[in-house]
Amino acid sequence: MEIIADLQVHSKYARATSSALSITNLEKWGAIKGLNLIGTGDFQHPKHRQEIDETLEEDENGILWTKERKVAFLWQTEVSLMFSQGGKRRAVHLLIFSPNKEVTNKITSYLASKGRLDYDGRPIFGISCMQLVHDLKQISEMIEIIPAHCMTPWFGIFGSKSGFDSLEECFGEEVRHIHAVESGMSADPPMLWRFKEIDNKNVRVVSFSDAHSFWPWRLGREATIFELEELGYSNIIRAIRTGHGLKATIETPPAYGRYHYDGHRNCGFSSSPEETKKLKGICPVCKNPLTIGVDYRVEELAVHPKGHTPENAPEFYELLPLHEVIALHLNSQLNSKKTWKLYNELIENFGTEFNVLLRASEEELARKDVDAKLIELILMNRKNKLKIKPGFDGEYGRVEMPKKQATLF
């Protein structure tokens, strides 16, 4: 059984999220995307928990379903920890997964003892990563904790502004409970495989979207593909902890992420790591230190050369969302009427977005009268051949129309 899972989403009660973000919309658009399993998001928030309880029913395997049973859900939340360790300010986002409602209730009670739960779907607590992991493991060994978007500057565990140089530095003796890191949009497995601790034996790479809306250019833009005998919480966690059943990840190209290059958004300036070094890390516009992005930070932490791949490493696909490809083809906006029209036609013909992005052959696309130029872009996207101007300091990367090679006579 192949399960495509996006296990990092938020509710409408988290900051900077869609007010229409609901379980119903996640299920509807998750099915259109081609997802089989989605995180509930923000399970400790009182109002969102009420929606979960009213909308979803838990089965004997710890998986949650609506009455329509189009897409399954798994108990999931994300917390922001801000604390001091080693004389430095730290800020790390962690994903938390729970095996069932009973354990979820205990996690919620524990988090409530550390701070308010009702002001933000992603609450902030002044406790260390070590303490959180230790305390949650006292509740249940089946709770899983994964560092989210591990390379982003401000809240990634390895981030240039807030993080650590290693998992052990962050978690101490509790590091034995950390079995995976989440890549985030600005990094991919080959970048992270260069780190000493991410060896695919004890620590693996997973990928999820961190969706703040249900639209298909956000939901499922990154995901993890599991191959399981049966869909159940224990099987998902076993795959994460052992690698057996963790088939592949779906990534956006790192340059598409908002923190791939160094730069200053307000100054409209970005630079590659090589350029940043020449500038000695100073913005030439405002003369203040640049926000150091993921590409630079990887080189600071890497112990293996580029191209290093651990033994039995899962596959990975680097794909732009289908709306991006269509908008590029039509020279339109992501949410324009003509982009939506063509998107809906493709879904009608091929069932799901992932069928278009990953599975439909050139011949199948042509038989459905898909424009030849769009077919070319879909196939280029599948092979990660589209050119992207790298994102920086909170700005997404920009996809550029490929230039035809000049014909020489």
The two counts, helices (H) then strands (E), for the chain are: 14, 18
- pLDDT over 70 percentage in the chain: 99
| pLDDT-based confidence at residue 402 (cuts at 50, 70, 90) | confident
CA angle 347, 350, 355 (to 5 degrees): 100
Q: What residue type is assigned to position 112 of the chain?
A: A
In tens, the pLDDT along 179-231 reads: 999 999 999 999 999 999 999 999 999 999 999 999 999 999 999 999 999 99
In tens, the pLDDT along 144-170 reads: 999 999 999 999 999 998 779 999 999
Mean per-residue pLDDT over the chain, rounded: 96
Residue 363 has which token pair?
């011949």
Distance CA 216, CA 124 (A): 28
Q: Is the pLDDT of residue 74 over 80?
A: yes
3-state secondary structure of 387: strand
pTM score: 0.96
Distance CA 240, CA 206 (A): 8
- Residue 407: predicted pLDDT: 37
Distance CA 292, CA 392 (A): 9
- Of 183, 187, 82, the C-alpha closest to 129 is 82
- Residue 404: predicted pLDDT: 61
- Residue 24: predicted pLDDT: 98
- Residue 401: predicted pLDDT: 86
- Of 265, 317, 276, 279, the C-alpha closest to 299 is 276
Q: Which residues of 123-140 are buried (b: 16+ CB within 10 A; e: fewer)?
A: bebebbbbebbbbbeebb
Q: Are strands 315-318 and 246-251 parallel, antiparallel or unpaired?
A: parallel
Residue 358 has which token pair?
């990953």
- Of 198, 218, 200, 195, the C-alpha closest to 208 is 218
2-148+208-251 in CATH: which number?
3.20.20
- Of 7, 25, 33, 69, the C-alpha closest to 355 is 33
In tens, the pLDDT along 77-128 reads: 999 999 999 899 999 999 999 999 999 999 999 999 999 999 999 999 999 9
Q: Residue 147 forms beta bridges with which residues?
A: 94
Question: CB within 8 A of 281, min separation 6: which ones?
Answer: 262, 289, 290, 292
Q: Is the pLDDT of residue 28 over 60?
A: yes
Q: Is the pLDDT of residue 408 over 60?
A: no
- Residue 409: predicted pLDDT: 30
- Of 269, 251, 282, the C-alpha closest to 182 is 251
**Which residues in the chain are classed under CATH 3.20.20?**
2-148+208-251
Q: Is the pLDDT of residue 405 over 60?
A: no
Q: Are strands 124-125 and 76-85 parallel, antiparallel or unpaired?
A: parallel
Residue 310 has which token pair?
């651990």
Contact 254, 191 (CB under 8 A): yes
Please state the rounded mean pLDDT for residues 352-372: 98
In tens, the pLDDT along 224-271 reads: 999 999 999 999 999 999 999 999 999 999 999 999 999 999 999 999
More confident residue, 162 or 11: 11
Please state the rounded mean pLDDT for residues 276-296: 97
Contact 270, 393 (CB under 8 A): yes
